[in-house]
Amino acid sequence: MGKQYSQITREKRVAISTLLRASFSKPAIATQLGLHRSTVYREISRNGTKAIGYLPIVAESRVKERKARCLKLNESSELSKLVANRLKEGWSPEQIAGYLKRENSPRGTVSHETIYRWIYSDCGKRNRYYAYLRRKRLWRTPRGSRKSRAMIPCRVPIAERPDVINQKGEFGHWEGDLMLFTQSGAKFNLITLRERTSRFFVALLNPSKHAYETALRIISYFSDGKRNAISSITFDNGSEFFSHLEIVRQLGISTFFCDPYKSWQKGSVENGNGVLRFELPRTTEINKMSQKEINRIVMRINRRPMKCLGFRTPEEVYNENIQQISRSMSL
């Protein structure tokens, strides 16, 4: 059975606004209100504004406005008949909308998106208007899946990442990436991870680019006595991180994603990859190496002093933070 999504009521909009002002995170708000986190993200994104943020009264008006636009064809029998006739003649919704606008039709104008919504409403399905479309789909494909690159589910953009992570002010926030090799077939790769505060670097041998397998490798690494070392991971938008929600579920952390085509926004792990490339160039047959061999190479990187750490090593800073966490938990 698929995921269940809830409609947002007026009372819940008021609650969302109140919790946002109280500095609750969006996942925390979803938990408080018994909603799916993507429902909360979508509600705030669609019905909030950059200028004044999220206000219940504004959100309600935006929802009503969208519903009114969707009902436009149902209210106007002349306009709906014109649209239906053009569909039967093989016109696309975009062609119909463009024609109405050009002719300034006395029957009214309508956008192609409104026509699509009408086609896939109860009225349109009942009259089988979808059968006049070129692809004749019974259900409309979601916008994200119509793009050439599938949208990552429940993706939280880096713009929503807290300042304490951006400023490297707190231990436990990582960046993740995938290193590929030309001589190891299409599957073998390295999952690289770097903790932002200590610059501690990890490279995990990964025999598959499949998203779920990649997620399990990350989960396995942190489940092995390292759970307290991680609070979040920032990825790019590669399909190999499509199963990030499994990481969220099993490790209880947050995940964030760079803006499209801006992998430099996770510069720590990118720099680490550059250092590792000196030891493991693209032509390396990584499929013939063991995890122990890779660990030895990465250990040498973690034991080199870094100027940004006051010439301490990533290993030293990482261990100091782990010890501090252990002491605080034992109190």
Domain assignment present for 145? no
Return the pLDDT at 143.
Answer: 52
Backbone angles phi, psi at 180, to 5 degrees: -105, 155
Query: Residue 225: what residue type?
Result: G
Domain assignment present for 41? yes
Return the pLDDT at 98.
Answer: 87
Cβ atoms of 254 and 170 within 8 Å: the answer is no
Residues 125 and 203 in one domain: no
Residues 59 and 121 in one domain: no
Domain assignment present for 185? yes
Return the pLDDT at 49.
Answer: 77
Domain assignment present for 150? no
Residues 323 and 175 in one domain: yes
- Please give the DSSP secondary-structure letter assigned to residue 31: H
Residues 81 and 59 in one domain: no
SS3 of 268, please? Answer: helix
Return the structure tokens found at 308: 């940004």
Residues 50 and 113 in one domain: no
Element (H, E) at 21: helix 10-21
Domain assignment present for 256? yes
Q: Which of 36, 69, 102 is the last residue of a domain?
A: 69
- Which among 242, 238, 282, 241 is positioned nearest to 262, based on CA atoms? 238
- Give the total number of structural domains in the chain: 3
Burial tier of 17 (Cβ tally within 10 Å: 0-12, 13-18, 19+): buried
- C-alpha 8/C-alpha 5 separation (Å) is 9
Task: Give, for all 331 residues of the chain, the pLDDT tens digit.
Answer: 344 445 688 888 888 888 888 888 888 888 888 888 888 888 888 888 777 788 888 888 777 766 655 556 766 678 888 888 888 888 888 888 888 888 777 777 888 888 888 787 755 556 688 888 877 777 766 554 444 455 788 899 999 999 999 999 999 999 999 999 987 666 789 999 999 999 999 999 999 889 999 999 999 999 878 999 999 999 999 989 999 999 999 999 999 999 988 888 999 999 999 999 989 998 999 999 999 999 999 999 999 999 999 999 999 999 999 999 988 877 6
Domain assignment present for 116? yes
Task: Kindly report the number of other CB atoms within 10 A of residue 37's CB atom.
Answer: 18
Q: Which of 140, 169, 193 is the last residue of a domain?
A: 140
Q: Per residue in 230-269, is it b (16+ CB within 10 Å) or e — as a string?
A: bbbbbbbbbebbbbbbbbbebbebbbbbbeeeebebbebb
Residues 64 and 90 in one domain: no
Residues 41 and 112 in one domain: no
Domain assignment present for 5? no
Strand partners, 175: 194, 234
Q: Which of 140, 167, 190 is the last residue of a domain?
A: 140
Q: Please tell me the number of Cα atoms within 13 Å of 101 on its side-chain side.
A: 9
Return the pLDDT at 132.
Answer: 84
Return the pLDDT at 144.
Answer: 46
Domain assignment present for 149? no
> Range of 299's domain?
158-330
Instruction: Read off the CATH number of the domain in which 169 is found.
Output: 3.30.420.10
Residues 296 and 260 in one domain: yes
Residues 312 and 163 in one domain: yes
Residues 192 and 304 in one domain: yes
Q: Per residue in 185-220, is it b (16+ CB within 10 Å) or e — as a string?
A: eeebbbbbbbbbbbbbbbbbbbeebebeebbbebbe
Residues 193 and 293 in one domain: yes
Return the pLDDT at 48.
Answer: 83
SS3 of 256, please? Answer: strand
Residues 217 and 82 in one domain: no
